[in-house]
Structure 1
Amino acid sequence: MRKKIICLLTACLLLLFPFPIVSAEAPAESELFAQAAVLMDADSGRVLYSKNGETKLPMASTTKIMTCIVALEMGNLDDVYEASSYAASMPKVHLGVQAGEQYRLEDLLYALMLESFNDSAVVIAEGLAGSVEAFAELMNQKAWDLGCLDTYFITPNGLDAADETGIHSTTARDLATIMSYCIQNEQFLEITRASSHSFTDVSGKRSFTCHNHNSFLSMMEGALSGKTGFTNNAGYCYVGSLRRDGKTFVVALLACGWPNNKNYKWSDTKKLMTYGLSDYTYRDVWQEPNLSPILVEGGIPADGDLSKNALAHVTVEGGEGALSMLLRADEEVRLEVQQTQGLRAPVSAGEPVGKVVYTLNGSTVAEYPIVTKAPVEKLSANWCLKKVWNRVMFQAEESVQ
């Protein structure tokens, strides 16, 4: 009888909930193999999970996502670059270019991102900027432009390197930020998602076929792009992205095992992506702020009645009544109004007088300016004289009538 009741209850639950409700708690740091890891909401740049996310570490060939995006933005896919003897000297993994050979930039980018060829990176760097050092300056400037202040590039391929400024390194947070930027570029996605690419050098004498080694693309539904990396100092590294159910996530992993632990990065990536998908949903957190008119010293009231105070009425600029954010169920966004207490005439329409700030866990996640709706003129002797004159003329007209 007891077994029958349990079976009946189970059947009822399956009818009520035909699809399993999956939830994943945030992984404990000890559950991840990576020494540094970040899960980022790619649309907002907000870090949803971090394990030593601000720690500087070498990043191996994940470097090449920056090499690729700089080349896409500053070069032309039909540009032809010539391989130098220095490019030809790059260690494996390499395409095997020979000094004097010429290649199209597009083909070099496929070789760079699908096979992670080190010589392809140097041919790109020298062809676009004239030297590896000059190209590294472009990479570092791009990193700074993206707010990645803890990243330092020395090489275009990610081989371990150091100079008087520091070591070739980044943080998991910076790497995720760079990837979040890269996946906004359709050419970047087209290249990194290709299963293979065949090409020849410009002369047509040598033929090559590159295959995509990013196994994550077939591991999870919605996998979007990614790049692997390994050096003796960096260990196994990975940065990957996924888009599903209107959400876009990036996972960055540094020092995620050493041989023979090549698959640790896939375990960590899937664990973090699953957490993001199950625990974060979009909510509209917009709140109508309680805004008060601002007293304007020395101003003319809107109706011209000097027995009243001159007031500047205000409004929020932007937002348009909606603010959608990716949040956990237990997260609460707070609204704070920061508004000027008083103004001095004259006041222009659209003048900034404060801001509406949305915060989450003490950090600002969105803010909108508060501006004046209409101008407030300055009270002057001329205005007073004109006001008196108009009143006298009005009274004179009434007496004539």
Structure 2
Amino acid sequence: MKKRIISGCLVLALLIGGFMGIDRFRPEERSISIVNAKVEPSQKETGLKVDAKAAVLMDATSGEVLFAQNAHKRLPPASVTKVMTMLLILEACESGKINLSDTVTISERAAAMGGSQMYMEPGEQHTVEELLMGVAMASANDGAVALAEHLAGSVEMFVERMNKRAAELDMKDTNFVNTNGLPVSNHYTSAYDIAIMSKALIRFPETQKWFTKWQATIKVGLPGKEKDFGLTNTNRLIKIYPGAIGIKTGFTQDAGYCLSGAAERNGTRLIGVILGASTSKVRFAEISKMFDYGFSNFESVKVAKKGQVQKALKLEKGTPSKIDVVMEDDVAVLVKKGKKNSIKTKVEMKGYVPLPLKRGQQLGELVVYQDGVEKERFPIVAAESAKKASIKDLYIQMMKKII
């Protein structure tokens, strides 16, 4: 017992002597490099040629581009603009700023919008979810404006948020001027940028019940004067292409026929974008052709699940003294069919990181290799928070080891 007490005192003295040092963990000291940008496959590599001004085929999980035609050309997107409008609303619901059940009062400005609409009257009220359904299915311009005003206070402030979010998503060929895509100067985006924001949007499971529903009925009008209004989905892709799950159509004389579409088969989810097709029939035929190419040649390999432990990390001078490092999100990569077994993974940790650590803080990356060549990197994060241990905490930890 005396020996244990003496040992404890020695440990305490050592702790006090070193306590003022920098608190950090000591994983493998390795910096995280940036993967080189990938070449976007064109007609030459794929044999595909799309009858439209621009087109992109993208893996919806990893963001890998499988085909590109004028992918970064700046073009008017028409109502495909509403992908960003819906994304901001759903992200605001996710963060708790607003709720799907919120009541929205329709303004004069919203009710006066032209083009496709729900024909709502100033002063009538709807939930956020009803308006989202109208935007998703019937491309309701009035619904898009009402949602923008509800979240940001005005259309102008909402458009500022649209452009800010576009920058955060690295959408370099995009500038929004309105919420709905009605013709206006300097309102543009690209097929690639639309695929990026569509990828962000369809991670919300709520979208599937709107994007895949063919018809629905809601009540519109002021109290006492309500009437049934039928919503019919503008996206015929969900009727004609097996596995189609969305997303948004668009048309103006300037933009031509546009479409951001998504389809899923056997766990593989793809996004296709068509801009500037000559007819509605052409846009659906061309995106179907892209999807056929993607599903015939590629398959998705699940690498890890959200929350799956990748490493148990010991902390120096931290409490707790050990935390799990986990996947931030589900991880899957796309490979050519028959190449599933070519995928390997490796955990790489950041260098020294000072305490405290926050839950969800990135601590490293899961690196995915195919045939020994790096393919993708995905964040791994702290499963829980950790703080700088007090002298008492450290003494208790060391005494437990001794005892």
Return the TM-score normalized by structure 1. Answer: 0.64
Match of 2:219 among 187, 200, 222: 200
1:366 to 2:388 alignment: no
Q: CA contact under 8 A between 1:128 and 1:135: conserved in structure 2?
A: yes
Residue 189 (structure 1) shift? 1.5
By how many angstroms is 1:353 displaced?
11
Whole-angstrom CA distance in 2 between matches of 1:329 and 1:247: 11
Question: 1:153 Cα deviation (Å)?
Answer: 1.6
User: Judging changes above 3 Å, is the alpha-carbon distance between structure 1 residues 120 and 139 closer, same or farther for their aligned structure 2 residues?
Assistant: same
Question: Does structure 2 retain, via aligned residues, the 8 Å contact 1:358–1:367?
Answer: no
Matches within 5 A, 1:293-332: 325-328=333-336
Question: Which SS does the other structure have where 1:249 is aligned?
Answer: strand
Per-residue CA distance 1:26-57 (angstroms, 9 max, x = gap) = 7646x311111000000101101101111111
Check conservation: 2:61, 2:333, Cα contact below 8 A: no
Which amino acid counterpart does residue 137 of structure 1 have in structure 2? E
Is the CA contact (8 Å cut-off) linking 1:56 and 1:150 kept in structure 2? yes
Separation in 2, partners of 1:368, 1:85: 45
* Structure 2 counterpart of 1:173: 192
| 1:203-242 deviation per Cα after TM superposition (whole angstroms, max 9, x unaligned) | 2522222121211112222111121100121111000101
Which residue pairs with 1:186 in the alignment? 205
- Specify the SS of the correspondent of 1:366: strand
Q: Equivalent residues in 2 for 1:65-84 (5 A)?
A: 65-74=83-92, 75-84=98-107
* Larger displacement relative to structure 2 (268-277 or 181-190): 181-190
Please tell me the residue identity of whatever aligns with 1:366. Answer: R
Change (3 A) 1:148 1:85: same
Q: Counterpart of 2:226 in structure 1: which amino acid?
A: R
Question: For residues 80 and 272 of structure 1, do their structure 2 counterparts lie closer, same or farther at Cα, with a shift above 3 Å needed?
Answer: same
**Alignment partner of 1:253 out of 258, 270, 274:** 274
Q: Do the aligned residues in 1 keep the contact of 2:365 with 2:378 (CA within 8 Å)? A: no
Q: Paired residue for 1:243? A: 264
Q: Determine helix, strand or coil for the equivalent of 1:255.
A: strand
Displacement, 1:273?
A: 0.2
Larger radius of gyration between Structure 1 and Structure 2? 1
- 1:253-289 CA-to-partner distances (Å, cap 9, x unmatched) read 11112xxx22110111110000000011346999xxx
Query: CA–CA distance in 2 between the matches of 1:353 and 1:213?
Result: 43
Report the number of matched residues: 294
Kindly indicate whether the alpha-carbon contact (under 8 Å) linking 1:68 and 1:188 is maintained by their aligned counterparts in 2: no
- Please say if 1:90 is aligned against 2:113: yes
Structure 1 residues 353 and 107: alpha-carbon distance in aligned structure 2, compared to 1, 3 A threshold? closer
Instruction: Sort the Cα spacing of 1:368 and 1:240 in 2 relative to 1 into closer, same or farther, 3 A.
Output: closer
Q: 1:197 to 1:216 in 2, by over 3 A?
A: same
SS in 2 for 1:227: strand
Q: Which among 63, 88, 106 is matched to residue 81 of structure 2?
A: 63
Deviation, structure 1 residue 334: 10
Q: Secondary structure at the match of 2:121?
A: coil
Which structure has more relative contact order (CA 8 Å, sep 6+)? It is: 2
Deviation, structure 1 residue 363: 8.2
Inter-partner Cα distance in structure 2 for 1:209 and 1:118: 16
For residue 102 of structure 2, what is the amino acid of its counterpart? Answer: D
Q: 2:62 is matched with which residue?
A: 44
Change (3 A) 1:175 1:88: same
Instruction: Give distance in 1, aligned partners of 2:300 and 2:345.
Output: 21
- Contact 2:249 / 2:260 at 8 angstroms: preserved in 1? yes
C-alpha distance after superposition, 1:136-178 (max 9, x if no partner): 122222222323232222111111223xxxx211111111111
Question: Which residue number in structure 2 is paired with residue 225 of structure 1?
Answer: 246
Residue 10 of structure 2: aligned partner:
none
Deviation at 1:365, TM superposition (A): 2.5
Match of 1:108 in 2: 131
* CA distance in 2: counterparts of 1:61 and 1:368, whole angstroms: 33
CA distance in 2, matches of 1:336, 1:116: 42
- Describe how 1:321-360 pairs up with structure 2 within 5 A: 325-328=333-336, 358=369
SS at match of 1:33: coil
Letter in 1 for 2:273: A
Aligned equivalent of 2:168, options 122, 141, 145: 145
SS in 1 for 2:139: coil
Percent identity over the alignment is 33
The 5-angstrom pairing of residues 274-285 of structure 1 reads 274-282=292-300
| 8 Å contact kept, 2:198–2:260 | yes
Distance in structure 1 (CA, Å) of the matches to 2:145 and 2:67: 34
From the superposition, tell whether residues 355 and 194 of structure 1 become closer, same or farther in structure 2 (CA, over 3 Å): closer
Distance 1:368 1:213, change over 3 A: closer
Aligned equivalent of 2:154: 131
Question: CA deviation digits over 1:320-359, x for unaligned, max 9?
Answer: xxx963223699989999x9xxx9xxxxxxxx99996748
Cross-structure match for 1:213 = 234
Query: Unpaired runs of 5+ in structure 1?
Result: 1-24, 287-316, 344-351, 370-401
Q: Distance in 2 between matches of 1:112 and 1:246?
A: 27
Query: What does residue 6 of structure 1 align with?
Result: none
Q: 1:272 to 1:95 in 2, by over 3 A?
A: same
Does structure 2 conserve the Cα–Cα contact (< 8 Å) formed by 1:113 and 1:192? yes
For residues 241 and 53 of structure 1, the distance between their equivalents in structure 2, rounded to whole angstroms, comes to: 17
Partners of 1:359 and 1:48 lie apart in 2 by 16
- DSSP 3-state at the match of 2:280: coil
CA gap 1:248/1:355 in 2 versus in 1, 3 angstroms? closer
Change (3 A) 1:26 1:196: farther
